[in-house]
Structure 1
Amino acid sequence: MQQLNSSQWVSRIQEWGRALGFSQIGVAGVDLTAAEPGLSAWLAAGCHGDMFYMASHGLKRARPAELVPGTLRVITARMDYLPADTSDGWQALELDRLNRRAEGIVSIYARGRDYHKVMRSRLQKLSDQIAAALGPLGYRVFTDSAPVLEAELASLSGLGWRGKHTLLLSREAGSTFFLGEIFVDMALPVTDPVAGHCGSCSACIDICPTRAIIAPYRLDARRCISYLMIEHAGQIPLELRPLMGNRIYGCDDCQLICPWNKFAKRSALPDFDARAGLVGGQLVALFGWSEETFLRLCEGSPIRRIGHERWLRNIAVALGNALRAADADLAGSLVTVLASRSAHPSSLVREHVAWALEQKN
């Protein structure tokens, strides 16, 4: 086997990664002890909400070599996801959707193919390529699929720095990208971290509709719209519903306002091009999807994993928010479609529909 303590191998891996559609590849060490106090405090405060798996793994999240015994390095990967047809000024255009109350907003990352599938298959191919070149390789691939401190590892390896919204930021690419990792049992040379460049900016904190960013670099998931719509399976807190507007899957506000996202990159992969119906879709039409239609149109999409029940729950909240400010003509159609689900078999759906109907002015 050839010598491994050389940056030449990392350069080769980076080349292979680019050929597979990754925008950037780094290599991190496995010492994340600096992140442990913050992780412990975050969990102790209950900021993880219903994501009990985060607490059940404890500090193993910050100890790659305990999560996967034998791990010596973590290869980190960035993959940009803005659709190829994204126009200039896209941030302002997306923020303007919030004013179109009858339109349902799906987070940009979720409008195309499920990134888990795209990233995992390509990380697997990269792993196989490394193993073929370097000899026997012990490795494990992760894509937001296990208790891994992704942003911490990406930061450590120089893919960017942690923004005040807790997402990773890059001077070259903003924050509109996915992260993935390959835990390996080879001591590859590490890549250097980069300095943070948020400065005194607090735009992401100021714009958050629910004040989920409770302090710089600290997010309370229990107030985060993305968490409530995607990870949380129960009732959405009454006091937060009016703040969710017409969002129905995720929230991009903290990214849309971030100055660094003027450098966000368009994806070279067609996988992340938006599907029909997920951009500019009207709430009335989306709420009318049967479970069969939902499963068919969301096949291979990250949206499918929340299921039809939560899909209806989310849209019911958006319909209620639209109803509060609707004129007589629009209000009639909103009430009609809400009433069509008032006897839904799910008590979760029924409760959110009842709340929505109460919003009629």
Structure 2
Amino acid sequence: MKSTKEYTAFIKAEAKRLGFLSCGISKAGFLEDEAPRLESWLMNNSHGQMSYMANNFDKRLDPTLLVEGSKSVVSLLLNYYPENHQRDDTFKISKYAYGEDYHFVIKDKLKELLFSIQSNIGEVSGRAFTDSAPVLDKAWAAKSGLGWIGKNSNLLTQKVGSFYFIAELIIDLELEYDSAVTDHCGSCTACIDACPTQAIESPYIVNGSKCISYFTIELKEAIPQDVKGKFEDWIFGCDICQDVCPWNRFSKPHNEPLFNTKPELLNFTKKDWNEITQETFRQVFKNSAVKRTKLEGLLRNISFVQE
């Protein structure tokens, strides 16, 4: 392999082999269009208590400041749409947390992809990211042609909707670059109309500090009373704006065993949730993202949605 074309084809084939849904590549550089949007979002305090969102402003907009010598951003999607869903009459958790914590699953795949690139192409250095550093992953995925950012601020695709994780490899190898796709939200406002806390303040603008996911995961203090009765039984995260999106009619179940739904979770009734003990919590959510709230946080959420 000698040409950027061959390198690019190899990386995309490897991504597919490792189970990624799709792979798109962009030239590393300053995200000009995103800068004013991010600044205005932060000025509006839409990040609430997520103070980390305001850190590393420059690095967040320019991966060459984050990874020295970087030339390409390799964006990857990994499907997490489950085959089996929770029962209807129970407290709900976001589908991304049905199986094992995605950070570990994706990190392993990214490490393997980077190792494969180094073994087959030569001395390539870079870093792997999955929602764990100041990288605007949705912006890079959109720039790489993997989808468009919808009115609910999620990355959407015509073929498989939006139930997937986004990850990146930022490397110092020049490659062939993809171009963005067009927006296909049209006049649809399903996500805006369905959001019970009006977190989608206008098309494409989501106030993170009004989102059910923020209240149930990020917020460490008491949940404000003004959102009482609006959670529709969500106790960890929320999928409402994705569930109502017409493009998610095309979601297909994932094929990653580590994301399979825990059998206990499928059977949990509201009574089971109310009686959950530290031991059950540890057992059912052993390697799950739900551990982020700790049992106390989960019990606070359960209590809030049913008071």
TM-score by length of 1: 0.82
Residue in 1 aligned with 2:165? 178
Q: How does 1:300-311 map to 2 (within 5 A)?
A: 300-311=287-298
The 3-state SS of whatever aligns with 2:230 is helix
Deviates more, 1:54-63 or 1:132-141: 54-63
| 1:55 partner amino acid | A
The 3-state SS of whatever aligns with 2:226 is coil
Equivalent residue for 1:121, pick from 75, 96, 108: 108
> Is 2:144 the partner of 1:157?
yes
Q: How does 1:170-249 map to 2 (within 5 A)?
A: 170-249=157-236
How many residues align structurally? 306
Residue in 2 aligned with 1:329? none
The 3-state SS of whatever aligns with 2:229 is helix
Residue in 2 aligned with 1:335? none
| 1:265 partner amino acid | K
Query: Kindly tell me: are residues 189 and 205 of structure 1, through their superposed partners in 2, closer, same or farther at Cα, counting changes over 3 Å?
Result: same
Is the CA contact (8 Å cut-off) linking 2:100 and 2:289 kept in structure 1? yes
Is the CA contact (8 Å cut-off) linking 2:128 and 2:169 kept in structure 1? yes
Structure 1 residue runs of 4+, over 4 Å off? none
Counterpart Cα distance in 2 of 1:85 and 1:249: 18
The 3-state SS of whatever aligns with 1:278 is helix
Counterpart Cα distance in 2 of 1:170 and 1:39: 23
| 1:313 partner amino acid | R
Is the CA contact (8 Å cut-off) linking 1:76 and 1:153 kept in structure 2? yes
Q: How does 1:61-76 map to 2 (within 5 A)?
A: 61-76=60-75
Is the CA contact (8 Å cut-off) linking 2:235 and 2:305 kept in structure 1? yes
Residue in 2 aligned with 1:13? 11
The 3-state SS of whatever aligns with 1:230 is helix
Aligned-residue offset at 1:294: 1.1
Q: Which structure's relative contact order is higher, taking Cα pairs within 8 Å and 6+ residues apart?
A: 2
| 2:124 partner amino acid | L
Deviations 1:172-200 (A, max 9, x none): 11001111000101111111211110011
Is the CA contact (8 Å cut-off) linking 2:265 and 2:284 kept in structure 1? no
Aligned-residue offset at 1:161: 0.3
Residue in 1 aligned with 2:25? 27
Is the CA contact (8 Å cut-off) linking 2:217 and 2:236 kept in structure 1? yes
Is the CA contact (8 Å cut-off) linking 1:283 and 1:318 kept in structure 2? no
Counterpart Cα distance in 1 of 2:182 and 2:161: 14
Residue in 2 aligned with 1:346? none
Residue in 1 aligned with 2:91? 104
Deviations 1:19-45 (A, max 9, x none): 111010111122311100000000111
TM-score by length of 2: 0.96
Tell me the percent identity. 37
Is the CA contact (8 Å cut-off) linking 1:283 and 1:319 kept in structure 2? no
Deviations 1:203-228 (A, max 9, x none): 10000010000011111011100111
Stretches of structure 1 lacking an aligned partner (at least 5 in a row): 87-93, 321-361
Aligned-residue offset at 1:290: 2.0
Counterpart Cα distance in 2 of 1:70 and 1:292: 47
Aligned-residue offset at 1:85: 4.6
| 2:111 partner amino acid | Q
When the two chains are superposed, the root-mean-square deviation of aligned CA atoms in Å is 1.5
| 1:17 partner amino acid | A
Aligned-residue offset at 1:291: 2.0
Residue in 1 aligned with 2:238? 251
Aligned-residue offset at 1:75: 0.5
| 2:121 partner amino acid | L
Equivalent residue for 1:293, pick from 252, 268, 280: 280
Counterpart Cα distance in 2 of 1:279 and 1:227: 24
Residue in 2 aligned with 1:131? 118
Is the CA contact (8 Å cut-off) linking 1:84 and 1:268 kept in structure 2? no
The 3-state SS of whatever aligns with 1:318 is helix
Deviations 1:98-144 (A, max 9, x none): xx3xx111111111111111111001101100111111111100011
Stretches of structure 2 lacking an aligned partner (at least 5 in a row): none
| 1:117 partner amino acid | F
